Structure 1
Amino acid sequence: MRIALAFAYDALRVNPIRTGLTALGMVIGTGSVILVSTIALSSREYVLGQIEGVGSNILWVYHEVAPLLASSSSMSDSLKLDDLYAVRENIPNLKAVAATVMGRDSMILDQRKSEVTLIGTNPDFRIIRNLKVLEGRFFDEDDERLRNRVCVVTEGLAAHIFPSGWTDDKKIKIYNVEFIVIGIFREGAETFGQSEISNETAMLPLSVMSFLLGSNTIDQIYASATRASLVPAASLALAEVIRSRHRPSAVYRIQNLTQILAAAGNIATALTMVLLLISAIALLISGIGIMNIMLVTVTERTREIGLRMALGAGRRAVRTQFLTEALVISIIGGLVGIVGGAGLPLLVRFLVEGVRIPISGWSILIAFGVSCLVGVIFGIIPAERASKLNPTEALRYE
């Protein structure tokens, strides 16, 4: 093997440009495998982080009314405050339970009107939806119990209310009632307008919202399980409690993030497979390139092969020599590809503060192993052709 490596080194050193160009395909293929794995892992972590930022272990229920079937009886099946209390009392392993009542109204500020989204809810909603308080505070159980006319607003709405910066005594009018703005909040993760919280939203205690609307009807009940593994059981329990309190024909939808997380995982896996297929094609092409160059090398070195055989080298030694050359090219390309594929994410992590890009150790091992395998497989045909040359005819080759 030492002799084969020496011959391979000498042969590849003679044509460094050819060797480099031949290894380039392997560099691209190996590097792309690592980058694909890195992109897939980063995408998965980002998506899962965004989903979990909306609210960890969250589940919710709402009453579904078909537009053509709406009637007084079906409307009476709407969720009520008593349903919220029943969920709290009868379902274990829930760390927070909240209800929401949605609305829209004109907010009056300094004699100016603007349309805002209104959400009446209780303090647990902040825990369930992972809301971040940026200024002031969120309303608490005392505000809920005493029906205090307080509210918290989103950053987008706060920009209109506090053009000169936050103060704790600003008042706005909603439903012709004055409310004190006690805080500014935002969602735990960007939902791009797909959640119940719009850019300009005011959130107020559920008791106040119900009083202003003159109704104990609620739109949704949200809950958060203590652990992710308990979400399926909690969903079943939630369905049982709600349906036991209403007509059998009433339709209630119970949803959680488990399906969304699974769908996100499936999409990430499918994307990874597609990109890995493209990387595999690049490795295949690089293997074909190695085989072509090695076949050309065998033709160019026919006299050298004949001379080695005439001096006593066996077919096995010749075969090993050319297989070693193909393997060395693959290893060089694979190592350079690994450095590039792993180095680029590391460079991004170094240059961009706060960015975490995971690099899979398995992808590096697999990429290197595949590069070696490609070199051996595509080096077999040239090596066999070289080993089967007739020494006498090879020495006559011009």
Structure 2
Amino acid sequence: MVPAQSHPRRSFELTLASARRTMLFSEIVRLAIDSFRASKVRFMLTALGMVIGSASVIFVVTIGLTGKQYILNAIEGIGTNMVELEYSGGGAGNVNTNFQNDLLTRDDERAVDEQVPAVAASSPMLEMHDRISFGSGLVKDVLVLGVSPQYRQVRNLIVLSGRFFDDEDETTHTKVAVVTEPFARAMFGSTSAAINGTFQLSGIPFTIIGTFRERTDTFGQSEIADQTILVPYSVARYFTGTDNVKQIFFSIRDARDVEAASKQIVNVVHGRHQQNSVYTAQTLTALLTTASLIANALTIVLMLVSAVTLAVGGVGIMNIMLATVRSRIREIGIRKALGATAREIKLQFLIEAVFISLAGGLIGTIIGLAVPFSVRFFTSYRVPVSGWSAVIALVTSTMVGIIFGTLPANRAAQLDPVESLKYE
């Protein structure tokens, strides 16, 4: 039988052991702080490597996020909600059929508008390469695109001066045009001077009512070139003599519905033509995903490079702690003679190493976060700040202190107390 008093006694012993461990840890922390106070310069110089390394981690993440934000904003400026539909050709079995029946038409656009609820706006596009003439007798080769008024919304165009043609211009077949900024500057000297300027296309006079530019410079990789003129689709179709269009642009209400809506658009158009016809719906979703992955990969690579700085700081901590162990051999011997165990000695030097690395990491984290927050405070640019970068910097600093402080701590714990007391 176990005596009734055994349980209270066992509980008292556990409480006493817990209190002893608490006192032991607080004593070790106090000894570490006293050691730092005695060697302030050495402590600060050792922690400097961790300060630089931790700040570098946050700087790298901030730079990576800023670059990612810039790239994504540039792509979004083209139109993340945009779907570009075009006829890609006929499949097998279309050899003896008239491919003209497969080309896109304005009726296809109207069918999509009616059957795909996610579509917010749309515009057909007719493409013509022609020469225009001015009253002075100057002749110039330009790209003329016939589009609807909603083309401005779909393509996120910015009107620099004047206005874009509207539904009334489209309905009344008004001979008006909007021109690109480079065209206006080359032919009229400025964007404002181009307003009310005139030119002739196939002998028909047009009046310039506005100038525009793309929200994001696509460097000629879109359908809009530097020397481009936009005219109402209802006017442009008379120059081609056909209802066929080269492409149809759609704007989707929600960017999350782009992929699903693009498939619906293809299905609707495909159902109106021959079964073997091929239609392609291009979106920027894949490009956004790819750009995001590339930016994340570059950020990770830069973080690994900055981790080298943390490793160098860890080597510095290990060297200083090894020197500290050698300079405090007699102190270690006295502590062991007074009853300190090897575990307690090891814990003491390990805590000192962690304190150095963690203090450096904390200061570096504060500096690393202060820079982007200062930019956000003193400027209008919203520099992205990642809280995870601060967490990573602090955790990494702690791990560096543990990893590179283990060897000096083990060496201190293995010292013989008798030999240590004899050490001068």
Tell whether the structures are fold-level matches, with TM greater than 0.5. Answer: yes
Flag the 1:219–1:22 CA change in 2: closer, same or farther, 3 A: same
The answer to whether the 8 A contact 2:181-2:191 is kept is no
Shift of 1:96: 0.3
In structure 1, the residue corresponding to 2:102 is in which secondary structure? Answer: coil
> What CA distance in whole angstroms lies between the structure 1 residues aligned with 2:201 and 2:42?
76
1:372 and 2:398 correspond? yes
Kindly provide the amino acid, as one letter, of the partner of residue 4 in structure 1.
Answer: I
In structure 2, the residue corresponding to 1:248 is in which secondary structure? Answer: coil
Gaps of 5+ in 1: none
Q: Give 1:98's aligned residue.
A: 123
> What CA distance in whole angstroms lies between the structure 1 residues aligned with 2:342 and 2:237?
91
RMSD: 2.4
Flag the 1:253–1:12 CA change in 2: closer, same or farther, 3 A: same
Shift of 1:125: 1.0
1:271-290 equivalences under 5 Å are: 271-290=298-317
Flag the 1:165–1:288 CA change in 2: closer, same or farther, 3 A: closer
The answer to whether the 8 A contact 1:143-1:205 is kept is yes
In structure 1, the residue corresponding to 2:351 is in which secondary structure? Answer: helix
Instruction: Tell me whether 247-256 or 274-283 shows the greater mean CA deviation.
Output: 274-283
1:178 and 2:202 correspond? no
> What CA distance in whole angstroms lies between the structure 1 residues aligned with 2:225 and 2:44?
56
> What CA distance in whole angstroms lies between the structure 1 residues aligned with 2:190 and 2:184?
10
Flag the 1:321–1:384 CA change in 2: closer, same or farther, 3 A: same
Q: Give 1:38's aligned residue.
A: 62
1:94-243 equivalences under 5 Å are: 94-109=119-134, 110-163=136-189, 166-167=192-193, 168-243=195-270
Q: Give 2:322's aligned residue.
A: 295
In structure 2, the residue corresponding to 1:63 is in which secondary structure? Answer: strand
In structure 1, the residue corresponding to 2:217 is in which secondary structure? Answer: coil
Cα offsets for 1:186-219 (capped at 9, x unmatched): 2122222221112222111111111112222211
Structure 2 length normalisation: TM-score? 0.86
> What CA distance in whole angstroms lies between the structure 2 residues aligned with 1:107 and 1:70?
38
Q: Give 2:384's aligned residue.
A: 358
Q: Give 1:49's aligned residue.
A: 73
Q: Percent identity?
A: 43
Gaps of 5+ in 2: 1-24
Flag the 1:221–1:164 CA change in 2: closer, same or farther, 3 A: closer
In structure 2, the residue corresponding to 1:152 is in which secondary structure? Answer: strand
Instruction: Tell me whether 233-242 or 299-308 shows the greater mean CA deviation.
Output: 299-308
The answer to whether the 8 A contact 1:56-1:128 is kept is no
Flag the 1:70–1:296 CA change in 2: closer, same or farther, 3 A: farther
Kindly provide the amino acid, as one letter, of the partner of residue 74 in structure 1.
Answer: F
Cα offsets for 1:148-170 (capped at 9, x unmatched): 11011111112134326615421
In structure 2, the residue corresponding to 1:166 is in which secondary structure? Answer: helix
Larger CA Rg, structure 1 vs 2: 2
The answer to whether the 8 A contact 2:184-2:190 is kept is no
1:28 and 2:52 correspond? yes
> What CA distance in whole angstroms lies between the structure 2 residues aligned with 1:39 and 1:25?
21
Shift of 1:120: 1.0
Shift of 1:359: 0.6
> What CA distance in whole angstroms lies between the structure 1 residues aligned with 2:377 and 2:187?
40
Flag the 1:255–1:288 CA change in 2: closer, same or farther, 3 A: same
Structure 1 length normalisation: TM-score? 0.91
Kindly provide the amino acid, as one letter, of the partner of residue 374 in structure 1.
Answer: V
In structure 2, the residue corresponding to 1:5 is in which secondary structure? Answer: helix
Flag the 1:165–1:95 CA change in 2: closer, same or farther, 3 A: closer
